[in-house]
Amino acid sequence: MSLDEYKKMTDEEFKSLTDEEFEEYLKLKKEDFPRHYRKLGEITVDTVLTPEEAIEIAKKYHQEKELDGVVNEQIEDLFFDEAYTFKVDIINRDNDDIRPAWRVTVDLPPNPFLFEDYTLIVSDRDEAVMGMLDVNGHPVSDGNEFTDEDIEYIMSDEDTENYNE
């Protein structure tokens, strides 16, 4: 079975895999992982941008948005993702928006209140910064702002009532 076939499985089908099938899945995942963190010499697809252009796009975005830190300009620290997922279509995973992207690191000065570095995602095809990843590799929303629903939930005292009992 291919990795794409595993991705098309429902949760129930995936949970019912035998130990051998699951081990095969893990092997395929492990083989697939490096294509998301390729160094320059390992890239196997044609790129639109050069490494220098990707860094310049990241620097311009960083400056325009007045973000913290300094864009790492070391080409040897640059990663390329041959299949970065920009958007997931929950209903039909075949419609996920997957395309090549550059991962440009932004270094933050040591600070007890801020996490370490974060990453700007530069779409190779669009020649633009299309997102950010935090130090743990999780997507960062624009400004990481709370929605009205988030604030309402946080401010509600429903959870605190349970602690007082």
Q: Is residue 155 part of a domain?
A: no
Same structural domain for residues 29 and 106? Answer: no
Phi-psi region of 114 (alpha: psi -120 to 50; beta: other; left: phi over 0): beta
Same structural domain for residues 51 and 132? Answer: yes
pLDDT means over runs of 10, the chain (165 residues)? 76 87 81 64 85 96 91 90 84 86 87 73 94 81 52 50 43
Closest C-alpha to 93, from 33, 24, 6, 32: 6
Same structural domain for residues 29 and 44? Answer: no
Angle 81-103-4 from CA coordinates, rounded to 5°: 25
Same structural domain for residues 127 and 101? Answer: yes
Same structural domain for residues 74 and 115? Answer: yes
Q: Is residue 160 part of a domain?
A: no
Beta-carbon count within 10 A of 93 CB: 13
Same structural domain for residues 98 and 65? Answer: yes
pTM: 0.63
Residue 149 pLDDT = 55
Closest C-alpha to 125, from 40, 36, 47, 28: 47
Rounded CA-CA distance 22/118 in Å is 33
Q: Which domain holds residue 16?
A: 1-36
Residue 161 pLDDT = 44
Same structural domain for residues 44 and 122? Answer: yes
Residue with token string 């995602």: 121
